[in-house]
């Protein structure tokens, strides 16, 4: 398998997109390091399924990120995927939610990247894949912190792609539209409140209204794109922001 001998650390991989990416990379032979929160028994099952190791680091705490990266050793593939969301008008946006979203969705990727790059450069090979979002390219109301964090990660990714351009290390964003995961389910009640809509109206008139295909993106489809970016044939794909959004950002 083409990722035999490569080690992949995927942040926020106990759930949703990160878990699907971990499964896809594992299926191509990568050794996987999982990270994220969740039920200890469920996480142990995932580790057994994937032959993976696990770090429970809270990525909003720099010391815990440093410990996770030191324990993982030199990783060949770094997937910065952990993220969170909060939906609120800007004038009511809770300050702690703003700080959490910027810390997790943006600053954590800076820390993991700065710690992963030296070993990648030494090996002359590496893949940095950042889960951004359609909201790295466009905006929706009531998601000020999220949109700022995702536009930020897109700019960060371009910058490191340029810095690493001659090292064999690529850096790219994957930008999904709406993928049915706990993160999306969790924002439905707040969106109902912010917009005065029913659950069905939020799903059909807010979420799927954005996607011309009228379908949620599947986590496995994001996993397949991550696998492609790890291929040798993708060695010249760097600094890109890959949309997988059912046509959302084409409009
Ligand atoms: P999810 O809620 O299913 O998964 C989030 C993961 O992050 C979980 O493993 C969780 O335990 C972990 N996590 C949360 N806080 C953490 C912390 N402080 N430290 C470490 N790990 C933490 O969400 P998802 O939908 O799979 O989202 C994954 C990524 O994809 C996020 O960056 C999100 O913004 C992005 N994204 C999601 C969608 C979507 O429609 N679901 C669309 C575009 C982008």
Query: Residue 135: its pLDDT value, please?
Result: 98
Query: What's the 182 CA to ligand 1 centre distance in angstroms?
Result: 8
Asked if residue 178 has its Cβ within 6 Å of ligand 1, the reply is: yes
| Percent of the chain with pLDDT strictly greater than 70 | 100
DSSP string, 51-102: T-EEE---TTSHHHHHHHHHHH-S-SEEEE---------GGG--HHHHHHHH
In this structure, which topology does domain 7-178+218-240 adopt according to CATH? Rossmann fold (3.40.50)
For 236-248, write each residue's pLDDT tens digit. 999 999 999 999 9
Asked if residue 18 has its Cβ within 6 Å of ligand 1, the reply is: yes
Mean pLDDT of 117-144: 98
Whose alpha carbon is nearest atom 3 of ligand 1? 16
Query: Residue 171: its pLDDT value, please?
Result: 99
Query: Residue 50: its pLDDT value, please?
Result: 98
Alpha helices per DSSP H over the chain? 16-27, 40-50, 62-72, 95-102, 108-123, 144-163, 182-195, 199-201, 219-230
* Mean pLDDT, all residues of the chain: 97
pLDDT band, very low/low/confident/very high, at 183 (cuts 50, 70, 90): confident
Can you tell me which atom of ligand 1 is nearest the CA of 176? 43
CA distance 213 to 219: 16
- Domain borders along the chain are 7-178+218-240
Asked if residue 109 has its Cβ within 6 Å of ligand 1, the reply is: no
For 56-79, write each residue's pLDDT tens digit. 999 999 999 999 999 999 999 999
Can you tell me which atom of ligand 1 is nearest the CA of 103? 18
Query: Residue 185: its pLDDT value, please?
Result: 87
Active site amino acids = 146
Query: Residue 128: its pLDDT value, please?
Result: 99
Taking the CB of residue 242, how many other CB atoms lie within 10 A of it?
18
Residue 187, pLDDT above cutoff 90: no
Asked if residue 181 has its Cβ within 6 Å of ligand 1, the reply is: yes
pLDDT band, very low/low/confident/very high, at 22 (cuts 50, 70, 90): very high
Mean pLDDT of 179-208: 91
Asked if residue 59 has its Cβ within 6 Å of ligand 1, the reply is: yes
Whose alpha carbon is nearest atom 33 of ligand 1? 83
Higher-confidence residue of 191 and 154: namely 154
Burial class (CB in 10 A: 0-12, 13-18, 19+), 47: middle
Q: Judging by DSSP bridges, how do beta strands 169-176 and 53-55 pair with one another?
A: unpaired
Contacts made by residues 56-65, CB under 8 angstroms, sequence distance 24+: 59/11, 59/12, 59/35, 59/103, 59/104, 59/108, 59/111, 59/112, 60/100, 60/103, 60/104, 60/107, 60/108, 62/111, 65/108, 65/111, 65/112, 65/115
């Amino acid at each position: 398998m083409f990722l035999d001998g490569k080690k992949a650390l995927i942040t926020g991989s106990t759930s949703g997109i990160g878990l699907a990416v971990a499964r896809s990379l594992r299926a191509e032979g990568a050794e996987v390091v999982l990270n994220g929160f969740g039920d200890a028994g469920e996480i142990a099952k995932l580790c057994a399924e994937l032959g993976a190791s696990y770090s429970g680091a809270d990525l909003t705490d720099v010391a815990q990120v440093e410990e996770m990266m030191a324990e993982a050793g030199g990783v060949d593939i770094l997937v910065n995927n952990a993220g969170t969301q909060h939906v609120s008008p800007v004038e009511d946006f809770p300050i702690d939610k703003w700080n959490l979203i910027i810390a997790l969705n943006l600053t954590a990727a800076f820390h993991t990247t700065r710690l992963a790059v030296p070993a990648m450069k030494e090996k002359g090979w590496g893949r940095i894949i950042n889960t951004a979002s359609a909201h790295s390219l466009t905006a929706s109301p009531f998601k000020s912190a999220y949109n700022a964090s995702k536009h930020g990660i897109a700019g960060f990714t371009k910058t490191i792609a340029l810095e690493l351009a001659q090292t064999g290390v690529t850096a790219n964003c994957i930008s999904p539209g709406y993928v049915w995961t706990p993160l999306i389910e969790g924002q439905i009640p707040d969106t109902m409140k912010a917009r005065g809509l029913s659950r069905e109206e939020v799903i059909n008139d807010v979420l799927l209204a954005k996607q011309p295909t009228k379908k949620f993106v599947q986590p496995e489809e994001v996993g397949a794109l991550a696998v492609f970016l790890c291929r040798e044939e993708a060695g010249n794909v760097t600094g890109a922001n890959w949309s997988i959004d059912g046509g959302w950002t084409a409009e």
